[in-house]
Amino acid sequence: MIHYFPGNLGHILVILAFISSLVATYAFAKNINDKNNSWARFAKGAFYVHAIAIFGIVITLFLMISGHMFEYHYVYNYTSKILPIYYQISSFWNGQEGSFLLWMFWNAILGLILIHTNKSWRDSMMAVFTFTQVFLVSMIMGVVIPGLDIKIGSSPFLLLRDVLNDPIFTMQPDFIPEDGRGLNPLLQNYWMVIHPPTLFLGFATTVIPFAYAIAGMLTGRVKEWIRPALPWAQFSAAILGVGILMGAYWAYETLNFGGYWNWDPVENAVYVPWLVLVAALHTMIAFRKSNVALKSSIILILATYILIVYSTFLTRSGVLGNASVHSFTDLGLSGQLLIYLFVFIILSVIVAARVWKKIPSTEEETSAYSREFWIFMGATVLCLMAFQVIIPTSIPVWNEIVEAFGGSSNLAPPADQVEFYTQFQLYFAILLAVLSGTGQFFWWTKMDKSKLKQELAAPIILSLVASAVIFMVAKVQNIWYLLLLTASVYSIVANLKIFISVAKSNIKLSGGAVAHIGVAMMLIGVLFSSGYSKILSMNNTGLLWSKEFPDEVNQNNLLLFVNEPRQMADYKMIYRGLRKLTTEYGYVDLNDISDAVDARKLIIGRNTISSTGHELNVGDTINIINAENSYFEVIFEDENGKDFTLYPRLQMNEQMGNVYSPDIDRTLSADLYTHVRTFPDPDQEIEWSEIEEITVSPGSQFFINDYVAEFINIEPLRNVPGIKLGPEDIAVKALIEIQGEYQTYTAEPIYVIKDKMAGRIPDVVNDLASRITIQSINPDENSFVFGLSTTQKDWIIIEAVAKPWINVLWLGTLLLVIGFGIAISRRYTEFQKMRDKGME
Amino acid sequence: MKKSHIFGILIIAVAIIVIMSTAGDASAYVTFEDAQEMASKGNDNKIHVVGKLPKDGSGNVIGIEPSPDMMSFKFQMVDDNNETQIVYHPNPMPTDFLRSEQVVVVGGYQNGKFVADKILLKCPSKYQEEGVNT
């Protein structure tokens, strides 16, 4: 039975959300200059309706996902029955429509908050705010304009049969698939449950300072908007920053490019607006203190939101095409996204141009000793950083523009993007660290030449000493790295000094110092973890690199055969084989699992001990979390005999093929990051060597593939799985024990005489790459003839990388967030006080 | 001249350097023929080549050969000019390589052999359904 109701409800709610956002925009705008507030209640009401409609859409879509209504395209395409509740949540934003919804959902909540926390700003800022929602809702409308044949938006409420041209629907219009296609395995990670909501909260909040700025210019309050906008700008920068870093951490844990940041266009597209937003809040702070930099604050806040829309265009229109490793499906929204972008550019330009002459600007020269000078320098560097990233990222857009005008452009992004971006960003980061350290002194004290010397002497000396020590210990020899290190240490020391003196008087003022310490620590963390990441799996076997290669090529990977130790840097590594992760017993050897009851329940086929030390016996059932996942057990042993085990993951997904994820050993000073690059294709037929025959009697020893084996005894069998034995038939099983490197294996080949015909059921010991068959039995000599054949041992190719001091990066992030928190609370209190006095 | 003017000129200078370096370091989408010509002129800039993997009658990719130690592989690629070229890649075969509809190799000719440092895959089918699983 097809559930028509939720889809219809969803459609109606989307249309309601669209209309109510239009109505609310109009009503709020109408009320701006209305002394009688005649539209106020109506505008508020319209927004409430809008918010309820948005929540309704979200709930409807979620209930469709959790109710497994696979008759709907979105549900079929992104979910499946076995997904646990938290992955049902993350499958919600697997598709573009869902992620737009997430963005709108935050906007609805933020709108409700803003309506209730603003007084005099409410109508003007909400008019702008709601206007953006009109564009967002249009992205999921899925309405075709009759006559023009123009489709607006892509709806998540379409039935599968309306999207897919599958012959089954002509035969059976009510056909509902049994199960969905499932969630992209890369997104089956806990970070994907919280990273997108955080990032989209960041996206959603960028419109708030933008709305205040536009509202301020529209209502003639060109200065006053900064006060309410500042805490929101800080909040937005904090959330967006955290969202970006969560994405980086997800990439670090899940993807296998070997790091947390790859300068992929998708990453750049959010990094750039974040930098500009951070620059904006610095100029805003400068304005609050000394009435300067108003114009630059306006420009930067407007630019931030426009860049957010631009990045949405870049990532969702399909324009990046070949430039990004991320895959985007083009939903045909590029036209709509372009309109969204241009409307807001034109709106910003017109509104700003109208009042530009009235905006006060300081004509007098800013002295190098003034605090504004330093803030302004910092903001400039941040903007240049953004500029340096956005230009190359926009190369595909440039090609499109040239082609639209009939030209041809074959420009491609830099071949080594990491090196290209890192180089420039490194120079700018050095400047940033120096400015963030020095600027703080100018901020808090009135400076002159002698005072400057007195203030700066101690931090400079201290940081030079500290850098020299690190230089000696960590052997930082690259001149640019050394400069960045020194500058960052200086920033930490200087801000620490500021923090101590500021916090003594009022801890609420210390946000800046704390945040700056955080940034400097992040720079140090990035410097070491990326600049000095060391590939441990360098090939050291002395084997020649494949002779066909024209030049020396870095060989970063290592081939490990099962149970054969290999030395790698400071570690001896042993690959122990494939494992399944259970809910209760840790990891269990895949070879010891015989069968599956269902997708999440497996049966033990051989007595075994799990990684947690539990003994599991034949016939026990174990529960697993995800049937697609297997894990490679790799043991690392250092020189002192200490060892640890990593379980890099393999996900075998029908749609996506094999997906590898790393496993990371975390210690205070460094992470050891390991991922498998490839392993033998399990679908490939095994090529066995020719059978070698050997005659053995029970109790005697022999060799199987160079391993010592003992023929223990024979057992008559009454039941052989899969074969029906008659009263005349005979079946025997030979019990053979083989000494492996780490454990004793048993092989139990079976010999059957059924209807006077001999049947042989060989047994395979995967770890030893051996197959044992009972070829024949000599009852007179009491001996058996075994047939032995071997194959290639199981293997993996891995890459292992050490990432020193990566924890400094995460710790820095935490401090940055705390710093932001302190600053937000201070600035929000300021706004509240003014509002309650009736000033705002 | 005012200090702010010097400051402005400085910013413009940096911006120009950024644009110049982008233009200088930007790679290009070319064909194997162009790439060969560039290499013969001593231009060792890394370039992008877009192409497809040749397939036999039953749709299987042909011309793939892993090295004996499995750490690298070479494959055939047909560029937009229908020119087939053997490409060497110093890493194991990327996941999904065989399923890709389009391949972008980033690299260049070294001693007459095309070595790809990086392989970008375009697999739209990964996210787009081809039919219903029944």
pLDDT tens column, A360-396: 877 666 677 788 888 999 999 999 999 999 999 999 8
Q: Do A415 and B117 touch (CB under 8 A)?
A: yes
A720-to-A605, A726, A730, A755 alpha-carbon distances in Å: 15, 11, 10, 15
Q: Residue A550: list chain B partners with CB under 8 A.
A: 88, 110-113, 115
- Whether residue A173 contacts residue A271, with contact meaning beta carbons closer than 8 Å, is answered with no
Q: How confident is the model at residue A755 (pLDDT cuts 50, 70, 90)?
A: confident
**Please, are residues A114 and A125 in contact by the beta-carbon 8 Å criterion?**
yes
Query: How many A/B residue pairs have CB atoms within 8 Å?
Result: 155
B66 reaches A (C-beta below 8 A): no
Here the ipTM equals 0.87
Supply the DSSP string of A489-527, one letter for each residue. Answer: HHHHHHHHHHHHHHHHH-GGGTHHHHHHHHHHHHHHHHI
Interchain pair B71, A557: CB under 8 A: yes
- Average pLDDT for A582-597: 90
Residue in B1, B16, B70 to test binding to A, most A beta-carbons within 10 Å: B70
Contacts of A621 (CB under 8 A, 6+ apart): A597, A601, A602, A603, A604
Distance (Å, whole) CA A223 – CA A362: 13
Nearest residue to A64 via CA among A160, A202, A157:
A157
Q: Which two tokens stand for residue A388?
A: 């340096």
- The yes-or-no verdict on residue B124 having pLDDT over 60 is no
Measure CB to CB from residue B132 to each of A168, A368, A546 and give the nearest one: A168
Helix axes A294-316, A207-218, angle to 10 degrees: 130
**For the ranges A132-146, A439-453, A482-496, A501-515, which has the lowest average pLDDT?**
A439-453
CA dist B110 → A246, A548, A550 (Å):
40, 12, 6
How many angstroms separate the CA atoms of A303 and A291, rounded?
A: 21
Length of chain A: 840
Categorize the per-residue pLDDT at A151 as very low, low, confident or very high, splitting at 50, 70 and 90.
confident
- Residues paired with A6 in a beta bridge: none
* Among candidate residues A70, A129, A56, A62, the one with its CA nearest the CA of residue A91: A62
Tell me, what amino acid is at A740? G
Question: A-chain residues within 8 Å CB-CB of B95?
Answer: 657-660
Cα A840 to Cα A122: distance, rounded to the nearest angstrom: 10
Residues 72-131 of B with CB under 8 A from A: 72, 74, 88, 90-93, 95-96, 99, 102, 104, 106-107, 110-113, 115, 117-118, 120, 122-124, 126-129, 131
Chain A positions in Cβ-Cβ contact with residue B49 (cut-off 8 Å)? none
Name the residue with tokens 């120079």.
A427
Shortest Cα distance, chain B CAs vs residue A262, angstroms: 13
Q: How are strands ordered across the β-sheet holding A770-778?
A: A692-696, A783-790, A770-778, A763-765
Most confident range (mean pLDDT) of A62-71, A137-146, B8-17 is: A62-71
Residues A164, A166, A167, CA angle at the centre, nearest 5°? 150
Within 8 A of B29 by CB-CB distance, chain A residues are 322, 410-412
Do B126 and A545 make contact, defined as CB atoms within 8 angstroms? no
Q: Among residues A10, A350, A305, A364, which one has the least CA distance to residue A156?
A: A10
> Residue A331 above 60 pLDDT?
yes
Helix (H), strand (E), coil (C) string for A615-677: EECCCCEEEECCCCEEEEEEEEEECCCCEEEECCEEEEECCCEEEEECEEEECCCEEEEEEEE
In the numeric block, which tokens belong to residue A314? 């870049």
Spatial distance between the Cα atoms of A333 and A154, rounded to a whole number of angstroms: 8
Q: What does the pLDDT average to over A222-240?
A: 95
Q: Judge: A546–B67 Cβ closer than 8 Å, yes or no.
A: yes
pLDDT tier, B128 (very low <50, low <70, confident <90, very high otherwise): very low
> What confidence score (pLDDT) does residue A547 get?
59
Cβ contact, residue pair B90, A549, below 8 Å: yes
Nearest to B36 by CA among B47, B26, B27, B52: B47
Ramachandran angles phi, psi of A692, nearest 5°: -110, 130
**Interchain CB distance below 8 Å, B128 and A549:** no
- Which pLDDT score, from 0 to 100, does residue A342 have? 97
Task: Tell me the average pLDDT across A38-67.
Answer: 95
- If one counts every other C-beta atom within 10 angstroms of the C-beta of residue A191, the result is 19
Distance CA A580, CA A583 (A): 10
Question: In A, which residues are within 8 Å of B115 by CB distance?
Answer: 549-551, 553
Strand partners, B79: B51
Q: What is the mean pLDDT of chain A?
A: 89
Q: A254-275, pLDDT tens digit by residue?
A: 887 778 998 988 899 999 999 9
The string of pLDDT tens digits covering residues B37-87 is 888 888 878 899 989 899 888 878 888 888 777 778 889 999 988 999 999
Q: CB B29 to CB A412 under 8 A?
A: yes
* Chain A residues within 8 A of B48 when measuring between CB atoms: 322, 412, 415
Percent of chain A with pLDDT over 70: 96
Query: Of B4, B18, B88, which to mutate for an interface test with A (greatest number of A Cβ within 10 Å)?
Result: B18
Q: Checking phi first, is residue A566 left (phi over 0); if not, alpha (psi -120 to 50) or beta?
A: beta
pLDDT at A323: 63
Q: With bands split at pLDDT 50, 70 and 90, how would you rate the model's confidence at A143? A: confident
Q: Is B9 on the interface with A (CB under 8 A)?
A: no
Chain B CB contacts of A548 under 8 Å are: 67, 74, 88, 113
pLDDT of residue A150 exceeding 90, the answer is: no
| Range of lowest pLDDT (A100-104, A398-402, A458-462, A834-838) | A834-838
The Cβ-side half-sphere exposure at A736, using a 13 Å CA radius, reads: 34
pLDDT of residue A637: 92
pLDDT in the model for residue B63: 85
Nearest partner of A328 among B24, B122, B113, B21, judged by Cα? B122
Of A168, A177, A365, the CB nearest to B3: A365
- Under a CB-based contact definition with an 8 Å cutoff, are residues A798 and A558 in contact? yes
Contact B48 A181 (CB under 8 A): no
The alpha carbon of residue B35 is apart from the nearest alpha carbon of chain A, in Å, by 13
pTM above 0.95, yes or no: no
The reply to whether residue A392 touches residue B26, judged by beta carbons under 8 angstroms, is: yes
Q: Is the pLDDT of residue A546 over 60?
A: no
Contact B92 A557 (CB under 8 A): yes
Q: How confident is the model at residue A639 (pLDDT cuts 50, 70, 90)?
A: confident
Tell me if A108 sits within 8 A of A29, measured CB to CB.
Answer: no
CB A415 to CB B21 under 8 A?
no
Task: Give the residue on B whose Cα is nearest the Cα of A161.
Answer: B132
pLDDT in tens, A491-521: 999 999 999 999 998 999 999 999 999 999 9
Q: How far apart are the CA of B107 and the nearest CA of chain A, in angstroms?
A: 8
Q: Taking residues A114-135, report their average pLDDT.
A: 94
**pLDDT for residue B42:** 82
pLDDT in tens, A59-116: 999 999 999 999 999 999 889 888 888 899 999 998 889 999 999 999 999 999 999 9
Q: Is the pLDDT of residue A813 over 70?
A: yes
**Chain A interface, best mutation among B64, B86, B87, B91, by max A CB count within 10 A:** B91
C-alpha count within 13 angstroms, C-beta hemisphere, residue A225:
27
Whether A552 shows a pLDDT value over 60: the answer reads no
Distance CA A281, CA A816 (A): 14
The confidence score (pLDDT) of residue A173 equals 84
Q: Do B29 and A678 touch (CB under 8 A)?
A: no
pLDDT of residue B125: 41
Residue A577 DSSP SS3: strand
Tell me what pLDDT residue B127 has.
41
Average pLDDT for A191-220:
95
Q: Which distant-in-sequence residues (6+ apart) come within 8 Å of A145 by Cβ?
A: A151, A152
pLDDT of A840: 63
Highest mean pLDDT among A150-159, A318-327, A712-721: A150-159
Chain A residue whose CA is closest to B50: A322
Candidate from A168, A415, A658 with C-beta closest to B95: A658
Residue A274, pLDDT score:
98
- C-alpha distances in Å from residue A368, one per residue of A390, A439, A449, A649, B88: 30, 10, 11, 55, 56
| pLDDT at B129 (0 to 100) | 43
Q: Which residues of A touch B106 (CB under 8 A)?
A: 415
Question: Which tokens is B27 given?
Answer: 């790679």
